[in-house]
Each structure stands twice: as C-alpha cells, then as structure tokens.
Amino acid sequence: MRFGRPDTDFIKWKWKPHGCEDDLPVFDPLRFLETVRGKTMAFVGDSVSRNHMQSLICLLSQVEYPVDASVNTSDYFKRWTYETYNFTIAPFWSTHLVKSTEPEPGKTEHSVFDLYLDEADERWTAEIGDFDYVIISSGHWHYRPSVYYENNTIIGCRYCQLPNITDFSMFYGYRKAFRTAFKAILDTETFEGVLYLRTFAPSHFEGGLWNEGGNCLRRGPYQRNETQDDVTMKLHRIQVEEFERAEVEAKRKGKRFRLLDTTQAMWLRPDGHPSRYGHLPEANVSLYNDCVHWCLPGPIDNLNDFLLAMIKREEEKGLLAQVRKMMS
C-alpha cells in the first residue's frame, strides 16, 4: 500500500475448507507461542520459504518481538528468539535443497546452476538435528537452467544448451532433489522432531514470463473449479509422491513426516502478489512485476493458520500417547 497499491480486498479473503461446516480458526499468536514454548523451528528453502517465515514473525508480533540471536552474520542463516517463550526460529537458505553451485556473477553466456542431485545441501542438513519442527519447501529455482550431477558426474541438464549433454526436463531434477532431501533427514539420527513438507506455492504470471513483461493484475481469487496449470499440478504431484515414498521409511524408523499441502489454497489467490507494488516505482530491480512472493498481510498468512492447526494436532497426539502410557 505504501508503494501505491490501490485495493485492499486481498487482505480480507479467508480460506474456507470445502465440505466443512466450520471456518478455519483465525491464527492465535498467543496459542502458537504457548504451544511451541521451549522449542525450535527451521524454515528450509528459498525466498518463498523466507516469505512464509516473515509472515509468522509478523503474526507473532501481536504478542512479542523476537531478538536477533544469530551466530551467523549472513541474512540467509539468522536466528530469531522469543525470549519469553524460549522459542527460536531459523531460516536456512537452500534454493534447491541439494548441493548447488551458482553461475559466476555477471556471466550471461551458458549461465547455469550445477546441481548435485544425490548430495543434500550440508548447510541445512548439518544442523537439522537441533530442531523440533522443520518446514522444507522448494520450487521456483528449479525452473532455471541447470546441469545435473550424480556421483560427481554430469548426467544431463535442464535447458543448458551445452554441447553433447542430454537435455532433461526440470521434473527429473525436482524429483531427485526431494528424494535426496528426504533421505538426508531419514539418515539424520539426531533428528527427533517433526518434518513438514510445505508444498509448492505457485506463481501467477499472465501475459508473459517474469522477464517478458508478465504480471498479476487480478483483484480477486479464482473460483474453486478453475484448474491449476499443468506445470503446477505436476510439481505438486512429484512432491506428494516423493513425500509418501519417504513417509513409509519414516514410519519404520519412528520419525514424524507430515504433509502441509497448501498448493490448492495458494493457487486460488492470484490477487495476493506484490506485482509492481513490491518496491518504489523507480527502483531498479530484476523481478519488476513480482508474482512469485506474497503480500504481508495476505494469503501467505493462511500457511500459518494451517501450520498452527497441524502443530496443535501433533501436540494433542503426544499428550494422548502420554496418557495411554501412564494408564497401561
């Protein structure tokens, strides 16, 4: 609004679960903080993951502001602690979830990422055992041209336009990345928390891609029967398939994997992106019309409605298990 957005309806729409008589409860920041007292939470992923975390911090600010408790100077690996509740939030920047090497700055010809699809990103896997709740997600960076490695050997690429290299679809790399990420968590013996896969949050560019003048100018949600685009549906399906595959092993090992399936809810909200109002009109930024990230407040706050509901359910399961153990 400060940058000129004229409408406000995007902050008023609320998600209503289909087939349920009751509305989804409004996020209760006090209830959230009481529920996670003494716990730690990690957000692993890209800038949409950070967007999700920022939404949570904004919602919790109704009760308390966190203090910066970072041990790392990078903004990509901060620590935020709510001292009254001894609750810590930490983002882990990992655009692809697996080990990756970015193109050299300023290099435009054959500018591609190197993705090591069978090696999880140690920047988050090395510390994940310290957290009670881990929310992982990844999506939009997989659209970018990339060279795929397995066993430290090039096996192909995604739109790299390099000679004598097999061209794979991004779906190959996307599936492999999640399979590797899940395996890393399953193999982390010190991780005893709850893993949440937050599913793909789609963008809503119309009239072109982000670098071709595409924009998101809708001022209301889609109707429930308006279908998602094919790419979004396939990315979501891959995530769910890999999650279900990993969940079988998680149950065998006594680990808790949970599906935070938000894709459909976010697909319905093309009105919730910053578009050209995410910055000053004269700002020189590469993503001029931002139809990837989400306004705050806005639809992304629903993710934390869902998250709180799932955490409450998890805690209730834990209490019930304790009662049963005491009675047996």
Question: Ramachandran region of residue 158, left (φ > 0), alpha (ψ -120 to 50) or beta?
Answer: beta
Please state whether beta strands 153-158 and 146-150 pair in parallel, antiparallel, or not at all (unpaired). Answer: antiparallel
Per-residue pLDDT tens over the stretch 270-318: 999 999 898 777 666 655 789 999 999 999 999 999 999 999 999 887 7
What's domain 9-97+130-136+172-327's architecture?
Answer: 3-Layer(aba) Sandwich (3.40)
According to the model, what pLDDT value does residue 16 have? 82
Residue 107's pLDDT is 53
pLDDT tens digits for range 248-269:
999 999 999 999 999 999 999 9
What's the mean pLDDT when you consider all of the chain?
A: 91
Q: Can you give the pLDDT at residue 108?
A: 46
Give the residue numbers marked as catalytic.
47, 290, 293
Cβ atoms 275, 215 nearer than 8 A: yes
Q: List, for the chain, all residue ranges whose pLDDT scores fall below the cut of 70.
A: 104-110, 282-287, 319-328
pLDDT of residue 274: 94
Of 297, 327, 175, the closest CA to residue 237 belongs to 175
